Structure 1
Amino acid sequence: MKNRIERIKSVAKMNKELELWIKETEKKGELTKVIEKANEKKIEPMGKCEICGKRDAKFVCIKCHRKVCSSCYFSILGLCKKCISKEVVEKWKQDHPNWKN
């Protein structure tokens, strides 16, 4: 979990809205709880993806709580593509080639 928090904070430096959400969530002392809850999968995604509407939802975004499919979700971060763009994630992955370790 510590690694996921570090990854989210790292990518947030490239996305001001996400950075603000992290700061506000940390200030409330809830960032770890939010990520733990997402890891426990207490919210069972059902139905179609709330972004594309085409595929079955398999994940829940830790920020906006949308139920999304794997194509609309970045599992390394726990965020959907409405909360963080693919371009930002790709740039972050280039800057952090060893993110899986």
Structure 2
Amino acid sequence: MRRRKLTFGLYADAEGLARVRSLVEDAVASRGARITTMSERPDADAYDFLAAQWAVEHPGQSSGARQPIELRVRLLCSLRTRRSLRKAVIEALCPEGTAPHTCHVPWSAA
């Protein structure tokens, strides 16, 4: 196993961030990988487009305490497992269905 990383840009409040952290932890646990660190930092410059996305998808609603955040996850796993984890987290963040919808937490994955 080698050290790998996942990076997600989010436009989230504390509740949304906790939800995403839980999604990551569940995906990692189900695939036998191990999180070595998980950290977040405000990053308005890189993810300011997510605030604009929120405004378009939620017209007239306040964004509340949401802010652009970068979530960094460092893992011990194979490359195949890392790819599987990234895909699983993205699908959990915004599950696709037949009806139009908006994601609970606007996101971007690197």
Same fold (TM over 0.5): no
Higher relative contact order (CA 8 A, sep 6+): 2
Indicate the structure with greater strand content. 2
Length-normalised TM-score, structure 2 = 0.28
Length-normalised TM-score, structure 1 = 0.30
